[in-house]
Structure 1
Amino acid sequence: MAKRKRLAPAQPRSADDTPLETKSITGLSPHPAPPIASVAGDASATAALEELSETLRRARAEGRMITPIPLSQIDETYLVRDRVVVDGEDMEALKTSIQARGQQTPIEVVELGKDRYGLISGWRRLQALRANGADAAKAIITAPREAPDAYIAMIEENEIRVGLSYFERARIVVKSVEASVFDSHKSALQSLFSTASRAKRSKVKSFIPLVQALGDHLRFPAELGERFGLQLSKALLSDPYAPRRMSSALRVADPQSAQAEQDALNEALKQCLETEEKPMSPKVSKAKVRSVSPIDGVQVSTTGSAITLQGKRVDPMLYSDLLQWLKTWA
């Protein structure tokens, strides 16, 4: 019996005799998209890109973006640093932590120009990264600040993370005034330590004469305790010979440790106290004494080449301001 031939169903064909399903396989759509759809898609992508760029720009300007910056581009001397010394054990612990876990907290910098950044806060982290041989630091780039705000930011971080000694606090007050960041020790104290109690600011103020008289002679100033530092400041204010006596004692002792330095200062302090307890009988001067009261609460007397200030407003702050004025006057 002859085999029957099975017929396939008829397929619709186009004018060029090509099956329609073949055309669909080749990707040719019988209804191409209108040109306006392509234009709208491009506009949407451009708008999204512009929005993303603006978001990134705003985040960087507001200090919310962490950016890697080469260490060679960071100027750590942009501000006078408030910390005098760094504890060796704390620094080793920080270096070990960064080696093990990487830099967890970014430093804060301000842009100074092309590829130059000034360090605001994070000095210890920057030193640890340099010691570990790192090439870059994670940083937050903040908007340029007024000098007082930059100093306040630096101090606030150190007050929160690792407390400063009273000497270091008083030193940054003196240095900020010398750098013309603030016009007086009083305004520097109130601005830099605005969150501190009045009693704490008073103690910082009491250390100012110590910084001014012995700041360049002390090797271990951060080791001075609060009570001993206040005793030294009191002696420096009450005895006009105390600054020279203490600086000479330090020079002769040449201390190689904090304890040796404090022993030398203690001996000089005893001599100051003995002078106070047994003052020398003043010689009767034949020079005419002249007294004036330039402002309420301050009386100025002159006898020959001696000038004496007394009154209820003659306090450590007046003494510090007078010394500062004499330096500029000379």
Structure 2
Amino acid sequence: MAKRKRLSGPLQDFLTTSETHSAPASSTAPIARVAGDASVSAALEEVSRELSSARDEGRLVVRLALDTIDAAWLMRDRAHPGTADEPDFSALIDSLRRNGQRNPIEVVDMGAGRYGLISGWRRLTALRCLHDETGDDRFATVLAFLRQPKSSEEAYVAMVEENEIRLGLSYYERARIAAKAVEAGVFPSSKLALQSLFATASRSKRSKIGSFLSLYRVLGDNICFPQALNERLGLALVKALEANERAGAQLIEHLKSACPDSFEAEQRLLSDFVNTVENSTESVRAPSTPPVSEALAPSPDTENSVSNPAEEVCPGIFLSQKGGKLQLSGPAVNPVFRDRLEAWLRKNTDT
């Protein structure tokens, strides 16, 4: 068999060159380079616009150092964010320890590298607790949405609504933030504060918050565990304070002297106080009736008026009528009762 000849000469040189050397890069036409540069520039501008829009609309999440967040930028709707002894707060700390932060807080840019906290006080506090405990750098920062509220009213509404969704406030805490917002001049009246802060709540729920508002005006921040004050006990306290105008000062004195160290102890103190007031109210006798001779003595306008004796329509409140006049009297007729009666009349007589 004839041997095959190996390739040699120019063809072999060509094949060897193509295998061992790269072909020179083809030159790009100037018009193509200009078009490419314009495309890159347009893409960068689009990204810049989107980032700017996200920042303005509060859709931009940033990572911020914990010590740049001012939690006191707004008056908080909670009395305190929580302690390690509370099951809910302890569960939050454990979740952050295992999984890190999943939901950003909300802040506003105050300038100079400082940020005001709108919502997320519990998450911020839990991260600070973890960083103090472990010194781990992953707990030294917090994920946050940069919001730009148009007004202080909008900022307060955002704070309250976020807490209502995540972990509902107690009625006392709701009343407290409404009162504080009015005191700070954020809203001109309690009515507007309730309507704005709890716009999504039902009418009956806002009415209950209004009842707790009268309770907060009497007791203020003397309640140590407002988050644990349930609806039933709170409304019983409202009724007890309305039945005895001196009961508010007495209850504050009891709270200060007892200094309950747990919500269970405070609940017992409040329940005992309500029972004491109810028992004392039941023992109050109706006003003594006038002598028969005085009752039968005709008055100058007897022929033109109709009258009836005072009747206790509810504990501590007596109703009497003379002619076209109705009179309320009794130990429960105090300024708080008057304000509530006036509000009820205005609401139910509007046409």
Q: Report if TM-score (shorter chain) is over 0.5.
A: yes
Report the TM-score when normalising by structure 1: 0.74
The alignment partner of 1:144 has SS state of coil
Contact residue 205 and residue 317 of structure 1 kept, 8 A: no
Choose 159-168 or 220-229, whichever is displaced more. Answer: 220-229
> How many pairs are equivalent?
281
Q: Which amino acid aligns with 2:258?
A: A
Contact residue 69 and residue 117 of structure 2 kept, 8 A: yes
Structure 1 residue 207, shift from structure 2 partner: 0.6
Q: 1:197 to 1:42 in 2, by over 3 A?
A: same
- Computed over aligned residues only, the root mean square deviation of the Cα atoms, in angstroms, reads 3.4
CA deviation vs aligned residue, 1:229-261 (integer Å, no higher than 9, x gap): 112112323422121121122233333333333
Q: Which amino acid aligns with 1:229?
A: G
Aligned counterpart for 1:140 among listed residues 139, 142, 145: 145
The aligned residue for residue 220 of structure 1 is 225
Aligned counterpart for 1:59 among listed residues 54, 63, 71: 54
The aligned residue for residue 169 of structure 1 is 174
CA deviation vs aligned residue, 1:9-60 (integer Å, no higher than 9, x gap): 69xxxxxxxxxx9xx967376xx54433333322222222111111121122
Q: How does 1:209-288 map to 2 (within 5 A)?
A: 209-273=214-278, 274-275=280-281, 277-278=283-284
Report the TM-score when normalising by structure 2: 0.70
The aligned residue for residue 83 of structure 1 is 78
Q: How does 1:91-170 map to 2 (within 5 A)?
A: 91-133=89-131, 134-170=139-175
Q: Which amino acid aligns with 2:284?
A: K
Separation in 2, partners of 1:82, 1:165: 10
Separation in 1, partners of 2:68, 2:273: 46
Contact residue 75 and residue 118 of structure 1 kept, 8 A: yes
- In the alignment, structure 2 segments of 5+ residues that lack a partner are 1-6, 12-17, 132-138, 289-324, 344-351
Answering whether residue 178 of structure 2 is matched by residue 179 of structure 1, we say: no
The aligned residue for residue 309 of structure 2 is none
Structure 1 residue 189, shift from structure 2 partner: 0.7
Aligned counterpart for 1:74 among listed residues 52, 69, 76: 69
Q: 1:317 to 1:48 in 2, by over 3 A?
A: farther
Q: Which amino acid aligns with 2:217?
A: Q
Contact residue 242 and residue 334 of structure 2 kept, 8 A: no
- In the alignment, structure 1 segments of 5+ residues that lack a partner are 1-5, 11-20, 283-297, 302-307, 320-330
Structure 1 residue 104, shift from structure 2 partner: 0.8
Q: 1:125 to 1:257 in 2, by over 3 A?
A: closer
Contact residue 111 and residue 144 of structure 1 kept, 8 A: no
Contact residue 245 and residue 268 of structure 1 kept, 8 A: no
Aligned-residue sequence identity (percent) comes to 46
